[in-house]
Amino acid sequence: QKEVEQDPGPLSVPEGAIVSLNCTYSNSAFQYFMWYRQYSRKGPELLMYTYSSGNKEDGRFTAQVDKSSKYISLFIRDSQPSDSATYLCAMTDFYTGTASKLTFGTGTRLQVTL
Amino acid sequence: GAGVSQSPRYKVAKRGQDVALRCDPISGHVSLFWYQQALGQGPEFLTYFQNEAQLDKSGLPSDRFFAERPEGSVSTLKIQRTQQEDSAVYLCASIPTGLAGPSSYNEQFFGPGTRLTVL
């Protein structure tokens, strides 16, 4: 079983819909929780990150982390066709003095239709 | 502005060939990661450099994979005797510093990747 589980989709929604994406994980050492967006044939780009549990909002995007349930979510409000991409959750712990590798989910492919 | 660049963008190799994939990180970035992304999967960690030191190579799938960063800037990932299962996108990411702390997550900036196809 993978450390991070994510439904690969695809997920198709109409423009303007609220999108909910989520991941579960098993490693309780994870401290940082990220959402990356990846367009076709491009590298991942960071959307949001959260340290430990809690919510974070940035424009149309809201990230939630529930460490007690080992469950993270990304909500996209008023979805746009330009939001069509693969959304990857990623997690890491941290070690003092070194950077830490990211552990990714499979990615959920999102299609926002007109 | 200049981001992380990778070359070549696409590489087709015959099974058994050796390949070399190049990563140019953002200037001045201390830390560099390599990831492998198979079709329909998320990226998986291969190896990590802090300056020229390879601090973690636990993700390299076999001894056919070798990475180097001799002067602490450009990095090369080499795959010897390529196999079909090596077909994937190889992503490079860099970070400004080697340190991470509770309130200052260091974003990994990804390049566009090299898509390797082994026939």
Q: Are B48 and A101 within 8 A, CB to CB? A: yes
pLDDT tens, N- to C-terminus, chain A (114 residues): 889 999 988 999 999 999 999 999 999 989 889 999 999 999 999 999 888 888 999 999 999 999 999 999 999 999 999 999 999 999 988 755 557 889 999 999 999 999
Alpha-carbon gap: B110 to the closest alpha carbon of chain A (Å): 5
pLDDT, residue B60, reads 97
Alpha-carbon gap: A106 to the closest alpha carbon of chain B (Å): 4
Is A24 an interface residue toward B (CB < 8 Å)? Answer: no
Task: Report residue B58 as tokens.
Answer: 């636990």
DSSP state of B93: E
Instruction: Just give the CATH number of B5-97+108-118.
Output: 2.60.40.10
- Let me know how long chain A is: 114
All residues of chain B having their beta carbon less than 8 Å from the beta carbon of residue A106 are 40-42
Whether the per-residue pLDDT at B16 is higher than 80: the answer is: yes
Is B106 an interface residue toward A (CB < 8 Å)? Answer: yes
Among B55, B93, B105, whose Cβ lies nearest the Cβ of A51? B105
Among B41, B45, B103, whose Cβ lies nearest the Cβ of A106? B41
* Coil, helix or strand at residue B86: helix
DSSP strand E in B1-119: where? 5-7, 10-13, 19-24, 31-37, 44-50, 53-56, 65-68, 75-79, 88-95, 109-110, 114-118
All residues of chain A having their beta carbon less than 8 Å from the beta carbon of residue B1 are none
* Coil, helix or strand at residue B97: coil
Is B50 an interface residue toward A (CB < 8 Å)? Answer: yes
Residue of A nearest to B5 (CA): A43
pLDDT class of B104 with cuts at 50, 70, 90:
low
Beta-carbon neighbour count of residue A40 at 10 Å?
Answer: 8
Alpha-carbon gap: A105 to the closest alpha carbon of chain B (Å): 6
Degrees (nearest 5) of the Cα angle A75, A80, A83? 65
Task: Report residue A82 as tokens.
Answer: 């330009």
* Coil, helix or strand at residue B104: strand
* Coil, helix or strand at residue B107: coil
B-interface mutation test, from A96, A101, A102, most B Cβ less than 10 A away: A101
Whether the per-residue pLDDT at B101 is higher than 60: the answer is: no
pLDDT in tens, B28-55: 898 999 999 999 999 999 999 999 999 9
pLDDT in tens, B56-99: 999 999 999 999 999 999 999 999 999 999 999 999 999 887 55
Q: Are B112 and A42 within 8 A, CB to CB? A: yes
**Structural domains of chain A sorted by starting position, each given as residue range(s) with its CATH number in brackets:** 4-113 (2.60.40.10)
Is B104 an interface residue toward A (CB < 8 Å)? Answer: no
Alpha-carbon gap: A37 to the closest alpha carbon of chain B (Å): 11
Amino acid (1-letter code) at residue A68? S
Size of interface A-B (CB pairs under 8 A): 81
Q: What one-character-per-residue DSSP string does chain A give?
A: --SEEE----EEEETT--EEEEEEE--TT--EEEEEEE-TTS--EEEEEEESSEEEEETTEEEEEETTTTEEEEEESS--GGG-EEEEEEEE--BTTB----EE---EEEEEE-
Whether the per-residue pLDDT at B102 is higher than 60: the answer is: no
